[in-house]
Structure 1
Amino acid sequence: MSSTPETLPLVRTIGIMQPLTWLALAWRDMARAGWISFAHGLAMTVFGGLIIAVAGNRFWLLAGALSGFLVVAPVLATSLYALSRALERGEPASMQVVFKTWFNWQHSHFNKWTSQYWCLVQFGLLLALAATTWVLTSAALITLLAPEPVRTPVDFLRVVVADSESGLFELWLALGGFLAAPIFASSVVSIPLLLDRRITLMQAVLTSWRTVLYNPIPMAFWAALIAGFTLLGVGSLLLGLIAVMPMLGHASWHAYRDLVDVSTLPARDAGLAPVLVQVRH
């Protein structure tokens, strides 16, 4: 088994419009993978619908569940990264790829109890903790500053969003952006990197931060695209997530391939064919 590297991989700089190329490549992958990609989006849409049905009018429970769902979504999209990787290698994007990703993603890793084997689970838990922190902080802010109690989504729209004089909604958005920025920086390439290469969780997170520091404007544009498409998907009664989630998942794989030079890193699973390392356009 290959050991993890001691140094971080090199990070490339990209043009500001490169995220649009990732979206175009994502649609190509979705067309080639067919129903398997859209099944991921449908599953996430159904799960989101169940959250809304269970949480109902309990606003903070609904906010917490949806926030956790959206923050952990990059981990849930791991098999979409694997599908894009298979297509990149010229392999079939089949359900076998999906099953192997979720149930036997490191079949050459005999020790199943090390932190390396569970790195994706660990990262998912960290993201869930971040989402919980946001909901608790948000609840405290609204509780302290709102002129009346906010208990339902309608209360939030009426008391916070529709009140243009208090500035509470603007403050709430600013706080959300402040807390979301480090989550984005930590996760933008971490998960596909952990899936693809033998690297520690800390190294993957540091590499992800470096991609943002080296490409601040393109990555800000990418973050805005992710937020915009996610809001579009949620705002369409979650139906838009059927296409949005697989699109963002496949695009995230291409973002990782463009931003990180993995030529010096060992493959995550020695039993897999080597990834073709090349300078991306």
Structure 2
Amino acid sequence: MTSMHSSVLSSHPGHGSEHIAVGEPLRWVSQGLHDFRRVPGLGIAYGVMVTVMGWVVFALGNHPYFIAAAVSGFLLLGPILGAGLIEASRAMAAGETPTFETSLQGLKRNLPALERFSFVLLAIAAAWLVISTVVLSATMGPIAPSVELSLWDNALRMMSSGQWFAWAAIGGVLAVVSFAVSVIAVPLILDQDAGAGDAVRGSLQAVARHPVACAGWALVIVLLTAVGIATALAGLIVIYPVLGHASWHAYQALRD
């Protein structure tokens, strides 16, 4: 079975030779918005969960250690929450009308693989915290003011520009790695019952074969997420489910 999963992408005739237009990610978002409109209550339920999680994190403060911990938690839970939206789009593509309960079917079918994949992302987040702490402590002293001094203050403002840039740059590199291993991983797990390792390999293959389209998709995700953050996270109530649904359509294009 493993060999079957590992060849999921390569089994498509002519795969890797076709061209995906630069603007194609915008069409995936449009399709995701269409899916959201078909079952808005389901999408809003997922969007509210993510938004509330974000509010809780911001309520704790903005020390870099807390931010890294929050990113780690989201990377652990994100694929599981996103799986429900992807499963809903998968059901709609098959002519069904999903409910919140049926959106959880993919999670029930593939929980072990999704959990293992979540821990892959968690390892990347942990690497961000460890590497940034070691590098910054060795070159510039403490990474940031103490937790006691900055729990309720703006710790990022208290950091030097050099500390902030190095911390963000390390996170940016690892964010690229995270995207590369996850771009189609969750829908591949749900659609093909792939294992976590095969899903990661499938994502890396998709990025290698369609680097421009994947870069465009990453940019769209970053920009829309920034809009959500700029609205005190309230925008994520809609943006998160739209991106979740759009992930299914991105998978369909990147694997065909």
Into which bin does the TM-score normalised by the smaller protein fall? 0.7 to 0.9
Cα distance change, pair 199–159 in 1 and its aligned pair in 2 (3 A): closer
Q: Where does structure 1 lack aligned partners over 5 or more consecutive residues?
A: 107-116, 262-281
Q: Residues 1-281 of structure 1 correspond to what in structure 2 (within 5 A)?
A: 5=4, 7-10=7-10, 11-12=15-16, 13-53=19-59, 55-56=60-61, 59-72=63-76, 73-102=78-107, 104-105=108-109, 118-143=112-137, 144-145=139-140, 149-151=144-146, 152=150, 154-160=154-160, 163=161, 167-261=162-256
Unaligned 5+ runs, structure 2: none
Q: Give me the CA root mean square deviation.
A: 2.4
Q: CA deviation at 1:173?
A: 3.2
Change (3 A) 1:68 1:14: same
Change (3 A) 1:231 1:65: farther
1:17-57: CA deviations, max 9, x gaps? 1100000001000000111111101011112222333x335
Q: What code does the residue aligned with 2:222 have?
A: A
- Which structure features the higher share of helix residues? 2
- Deviation at 1:168? 4.2
TM-score w.r.t. the length of structure 1 is: 0.77
**1:77 aligned counterpart, secondary structure:** helix
Aligned length: 242
Q: Report if the CA contact (8 A) 1:4-1:200 is conserved.
A: no
Counterpart contact for 1:4–1:199, Cα < 8 Å: no
What is the percent sequence identity of the aligned residues?
30
**CA deviations over 1:146-170 (Å, ceiling 9, x no partner):** 688423361322433xx4xxx4444
State TM-score, norm by structure 2.
Answer: 0.84
